[in-house]
Amino acid sequence: MIKTVESFLGWFSKPSYLRLTGHRIEVIVFLIRLKDEVPQILLGHSTYKNWMPPQEGVDLKESFEEAVIKCLNSECSIDTTKLVDNKELYIRSIRYINTLKLEENRVGERPIADNANEHAIGFVKMKSKAYWSATVRVSDELEELDNLKPNKLELTEVKWCEIDEAISLIKSSNRPEKSDLLVDTLLKVMSDLGFN
């Protein structure tokens, strides 16, 4: 009985409401480290030819934390289990950012969640994306994170960038709305971490 009530109440959450109105829920992973005392962020070069922090769709009944771990494992080949166990990686915060409408040619190209077809809401067409940011800190100077291998499906390259370089790459390779969303959030993440 309790499980049924929890399941029912889950449909009143912000992600569930947004899914029902055609939004795919995505978490953007702002993975931050210090290298020689200089803040860096991990960026990926997507198959759409833009640079951005790794991001992942959040499946139905999947937590944002699970999606963050899945993203880093699958897109960037980071052994998060080992890093979490050793307290070398931790998720500091996850926050809602905003929604962005899809370009007209991308509306409905994907389900609102990768596992949506298994549920009653599988008929909802994706028209927008709703973004959450995950601020993730990783221990500084971990050599195993210097030569990461992208999965080649979503990302063709990954690299650590100092913040100014990251902002430049994001601005030059994304449509203005997405660029503004990413840069504004990156600056907020850096401020929250005390890097001004």
Q: Please report, in tens digits, the pLDDT of each residue of the chain (196 residues total).
A: 444 444 444 456 899 889 888 888 999 999 999 998 999 999 999 988 999 999 999 998 899 999 999 999 999 999 898 898 889 999 999 999 999 998 887 776 677 777 777 766 667 788 899 999 999 999 987 888 988 989 888 899 999 999 999 999 999 999 999 999 999 999 999 999 998 7
pTM of structure: 0.88
- In this prediction, residue 112 carries a pLDDT of 74
Per DSSP, 61 falls in state T
Tokens representing 172 are: 């030059």
Q: What is the CA radius of gyration of the chain?
A: 17
Per-residue confidence (pLDDT) for residue 12, from 0 to 100: 67
Taken in order 79, 84, 86, 92, is the CA torsion positive or negative? positive
- Provide the pLDDT for residue 8: 46
Beta strand pairing status for 128-138 and 23-35? parallel
The CA-based dihedral angle spanning residues 171, 175, 180, 186, taken in that order and rounded to the nearest 10 degrees: -60
pLDDT at 109: 67
Sequence letter at residue 142: L
The string of pLDDT tens digits covering residues 106-139 is 776 677 777 777 766 667 788 899 999 999 999 9
In the CATH scheme, what is the code of domain 2-192?
3.90.79.10
